[in-house]
Amino acid sequence: MKATEARLIAALDRPPADIRLFLLHGPDEAVAQAFVARLAKAMGAEAERVDLDGATLRGDPARLSDEAAAISLFGGARFVHVTGAGEESLEAVEALLAAERAGNPAVILAPSVKASGKLVKAAIDSDRALAFACYPPGARDAAAIVAELARGAGLRMSPAAVQRVIRGSDGDRAVMMREVEKLALYLDAAPERPVDADDAALEAIGAEIAEGEIGEIVLATTAGEVAGLVTALRRMSGPDASPIPVLRALGRRLVMLAEMRAAADAGEGVEQVLKRHRVFWKEEAATAAAVRRWTLPMLAAAQAAARRVERDVIAAGPAGRVVTDTFLLRLARSVR
C-alpha cells in the first residue's frame, strides 16, 4: 500500500501484525533513517536487529523471508533492516510478501529506486507492505507536512508555530518530525486528546536556532576560525536545538565557495568574484580567506562529509549535537 506520512508513523510506532514490509524509497536518507529509529524504538531496546544490504539480497533472494520468519536467539522481538536496496531486491521482496508467514517486520531503504519502478509497485500492490517516498520537501510542501505530523500527534498548531518549526528545521523532514514529537510530549498531547500548540510552546522547548547563530557558526567553520567557532557553538540556543539546519547551511556555503573557487581558478580576481556573488560586506574578509584557502577537491570532500554527518546526526538522536560540534571543529582545524 502507498502510505501517507501519518499512516506510516502510526504503523512504525505500533507495528501491525498484517504489515511485514516497510519500503522507504527516495533520496532523503536522513528521514528514512529517522523512520527506522521509530521502528527500533517501538520494537524495544532489547530487540534484535538483523542488518542486510541490497547486494546480499541479490545473491540470496530467500534470505529476507528467512530472516523475517526466524525466531530471535533469545526469544524476544526482532526486525530486519535492509540498506542500499535497488531493483535487484525485487525477487527477495516478492518472496517475503508471498510467504505463508513472516513474524518479524522488515524495513528496506531504497534511495535510488524510481517511484515508477517494479520494487515500489510490488510494495504498493500488496496489503502486506507500506511504501513511502522520502523526498526533501519543497517550500510549499513543508507547511502541509508539519500540519499532517501535528494532527497525527494530537496537536492543533497555529500558523506561526508551523512556520517556526519549518524555519528551525531548515525544511528538513526528519527534524520536523522530531520537533513535533517533542512538542507533543511537552504538551502531553495525543490523537485522542488534541491540544492547542502556539509559538509560546515552541519557545519553551527551544525548537529553533537563530538565523544569526547559524551564519556565525558556518562562517567560522569555513574560515578555519576555531576560536570563533567555539564561541558561536556555545551560543547555540539550548541543548535541544537541532544541528541539522547548521549542516544544511554549511552545505549551501560549501557549494557557493566551490563556485567562487572555480571562478578564481579560471583567472577571475577574488575581489571580483565576491562582488559578483554579492557577499555581505561584513563577511567579505572571511569569505575571501576561505576562497583562497579551500581547493575544489577539499570542498567536494567536505560536502560529502557533511551529508554523511547529517545521516549520523539523525541516527544519534540526543547525541547528534555532539556529533555535529565534533565534525565542525575538525573541519575548521583541517582548513587551517
Does the pLDDT at position 206 exceed 90? no
Instruction: Return the pLDDT at 156.
Output: 92
54 plus 85 within the same structural domain: yes
Average pLDDT, the chain: 87
Q: 99 is written with which cell numbers? A: 510467504
Q: Which of 187, 205, 223 is the last residue of a domain?
A: 205
Q: How far is residue 144's CA from residue 139's CA, in Å, rounded to a whole number?
A: 10
Does the pLDDT at position 237 exceed 60? no
194 plus 314 within the same structural domain: no
Instruction: Return the pLDDT at 138.
Output: 67
Predicted structure pTM score: 0.58
109 plus 16 within the same structural domain: yes
43 plus 127 within the same structural domain: yes
Q: How far is residue 285's CA from residue 293's CA, in Å, rounded to a whole number?
A: 12
156 plus 75 within the same structural domain: no
Banded pLDDT at 27 (limits 50, 70, 90): confident
253 plus 312 within the same structural domain: yes
97 within 8 A of 18, measured Cβ to Cβ: no
14 plus 115 within the same structural domain: yes
- Give the tens place of pLDDT for each residue, 91-145: 999 999 999 888 899 999 999 999 999 999 999 999 999 999 988 776 567 888 8
70 plus 110 within the same structural domain: yes
Q: What is the mean pLDDT of residues 57-74?
A: 89
Instruction: Return the pLDDT at 14.
Output: 92
- Domain with residue 247: its CATH number is 1.20.272.10
Q: Which of 181, 205, 229 is the last residue of a domain?
A: 205
Q: What is the mean pLDDT of residues 277-287?
A: 83
Q: How far is residue 251's CA from residue 91's CA, in Å, rounded to a whole number?
A: 37
Does the pLDDT at position 296 exceed 80? yes
- Domain with residue 162: its CATH number is 1.10.8
120 plus 146 within the same structural domain: no
72-76, 150-154, 181-185, 219-223: least confident range: 72-76
Q: Which of 113, 133, 153 is the last residue of a domain?
A: 133
DSSP 113: S
Instruction: Return the pLDDT at 52.
Output: 94
Kind of pairing between the strands at 106-110 and 155-157: unpaired
216 plus 197 within the same structural domain: no
Banded pLDDT at 241 (limits 50, 70, 90): low
How much of the chain, in percent, has pLDDT values that exceed 90? 44
167 plus 109 within the same structural domain: no
Instruction: Return the pLDDT at 307.
Output: 86
- Domain with residue 35: its CATH number is 3.40.50.300
Number of independent structural domains in the chain = 3
Banded pLDDT at 30 (limits 50, 70, 90): confident
222 plus 328 within the same structural domain: yes
Q: What is the mean pLDDT of residues 3-14?
A: 91
Distance of alpha carbon 146 from its chain centroid, rounded? Answer: 15
312 within 8 A of 323, measured Cβ to Cβ: yes
* Domain containing residue 199: 139-205
- In the block, cell 541539522 appears at 244
- Give the tens place of pLDDT for each residue, 143-191: 888 888 898 889 999 888 888 888 777 667 777 887 888 888 888 998 8
Does the pLDDT at position 210 exceed 70? no
